[in-house]
Amino acid sequence: MSHHAAPSDRGSIDLLSPILNHLGPLSARVRDILDTQGPALAPTAQPVRTGGFPDASPSTWSDLKPDQSLLARSIRALLTSLGLAQDPGDYTGEYPHQEADFLLALGHDLRKHGLEAEHYGALARALGHAGADVLTLDEQAQATLEDAADLTCHLLALGAQRSTATATRTAEVLDVAEAYPGDEETGRPAIGVIRVQENSPQPWWTGQYLDIRTPYGDTQWQYLHPATPANPDGLIEFHVRGDTEARRAILAQAQVGDQWALGASYGFLSVDAEDERPVCMIAQDTGLAPLRALLLELAQRPEPPETALYVGAGSVAEFYELPSLLGFARAWDWLRVVPVAAEAAGVEELTGTSAELDGLLRVGHAVNAAIRDGAWQGARVLVAGSHAQVTASVDALLAAGADSEQLSVDGA
């Protein structure tokens, strides 16, 4: 638990609760103060289309407007964790672990906007000044706000210091390929495979997802899972499913030579080399990407664990990676691949794999196939897909008798 000095007189701390009703104006005032008085934000990598030029104007604190909610969330977390909103008398100048971890992660994440550890002293002062400008607080309440702001920004600064890697870097698009054209009639989105190469490769763990920013659409940061292991050449393959406006823009506009910006890595999917249990992987749609990356990493081990990969899709036509996966299974005797489609129609569209699918293709949901086979029993279970798909799969596994300790999950 993180500590800070608590004021001796708590009688007026309940005046701080109006902050929760003034998060927008408070955040705006903080940005105004920092734009005129604060240190300039650190330079960050900028995405640019091939033949274009990156924005030459330096970033300002006001450019954080799209992420104003992050600042608001940090203030809200600050107040609620200190008990100021619910019970003013409970203020002790401490942060529960959950709230402290949130702020540490937030400080790490905000590096992509140019906020490094050295910026947070100015941010703490700006929070105090903004509180005085926007709110009507007595002397003790103002002192409490400033003390709490110091603690918040201290944790944000620690989060920014956690990583020794460059906050952002660029990656050049090397190849753009359509993997599945989509189906307007059924509403199934298109899928594309895009390969890039980092200009300054940074370390990340295979199975994690990366923060990326492209020059298409609204150009905001989003997450994508690499489908390849981390490597010193910085070569990355992304599987992009057009299920959001930002991802549809990538599929429609990405061209060879474009420059993307890459940020930090996140997530906990992994296969511990010291764990001797077999592995059960359950992938839905492009949730396959991080599990494919882990398979390629497992193949480099002297003795890979017995692994069953259940690949789920809405239709057979959406098994964009199935020919390669079946090739892996033929080459690696430790791997078993089970494709599971919600409907069986369309086998003939998978050139060269129809015969192999006889007796192999299941109809239904990947998690249910894994449960029926008992593949989860005594195994490490990795689940990847959309948030809804992962939640449904975890619920089904737990209902079948799996222990939560077995499960490692991540949304794609």
Does residue 19 surpass a pLDDT of 60?
yes
Mean per-residue pLDDT for 158-165?
A: 88
Kindly state the average pLDDT of the residues 235-257: 97
Write out pLDDT tens, residues 311-336: 999 999 999 999 999 999 999 999 99
Determine the average pLDDT of the residues in 106-110.
88
Would residue 271 count as lying in a domain?
Answer: no
Print the domain residue range for 119: 15-51+59-162
Average pLDDT rounded to a whole number, residues 352-366: 75
On the question of pLDDT at 401 being above 70, the answer is yes
The band of 70, judged by pLDDT with boundaries at 50, 70 and 90, is low
The average confidence (pLDDT) of the chain is 85
Q: What percent of the chain has pLDDT over 70?
A: 82
Question: Is residue 153 one of the residues assigned to a domain?
Answer: yes
Indicate if 186 and 142 belong to the same structural domain.
no
Average pLDDT value for residue range 295-309: 97
pLDDT of 12:
37
Does 78 have pLDDT greater than 80? no
Q: Does the pLDDT of residue 347 top 90, yes or no?
A: no
Domain count, the chain: 3
Same domain, 294 and 358: yes
Spell out the residues 6+ positions from residue 405 whose beta carbon is closer than 8 angstroms to its own.
none
In a domain, residue 76? The reply is: yes
- CA 244 and chain centroid, separation: 15
Looking at 143, 162, 181, the residue that finishes a domain is: 162
Is the residue at 7 inside a domain?
A: no
Residue 71 confidence (pLDDT) above 80: no
Highest mean pLDDT among 67-71, 73-77, 189-193: 189-193
Residue type, 31: R
pLDDT of residue 143: 84
My answer on whether 261 and 373 are in the same domain is no
Residues 121, 9 contacting (CB under 8 angstroms)? no
What is the per-residue pLDDT for 24?
76
Q: Is the pLDDT of residue 406 over 90?
A: yes
**pLDDT value at residue 66:** 46
Q: Residue 35 above 90 pLDDT?
A: no
pTM: 0.86
Of the residues 220, 236, 266, the one at which a domain ends: 266
Contact between 69 and 24 (Cβ < 8 Å)? no
Token readout for 387 is 């948030």
Q: Which of 162, 194, 211 is the last residue of a domain?
A: 162
Mean pLDDT across the stretch 95-123? 86
Give me the CATH number covering residue 82: 1.10.490
Cα 201 from chain centroid (whole Å): 19
- Same domain membership, residue 215 and residue 255: yes
Write down the pLDDT at residue 61: 72
For residue 180, give the CATH number of its domain.
2.40.30.10
Once rounded to an integer, what is the mean pLDDT over residues 384-395? 95
Q: Are residues 30 and 116 in the same domain?
A: yes
Q: What is the per-residue pLDDT for 305?
A: 98
Of residues 256 and 98, more confidence is placed in 256
On whether residue 396 sits in a domain, the answer given is yes
Same structural domain for residues 357 and 250? no
In this structure, the answer to whether residues 251 and 305 fall within a common structural domain is no
| Residue 119 resides in a domain | yes
In a domain, 27, yes or no: yes
On the CB side of 202, CA atoms within 13 Å amount to 16
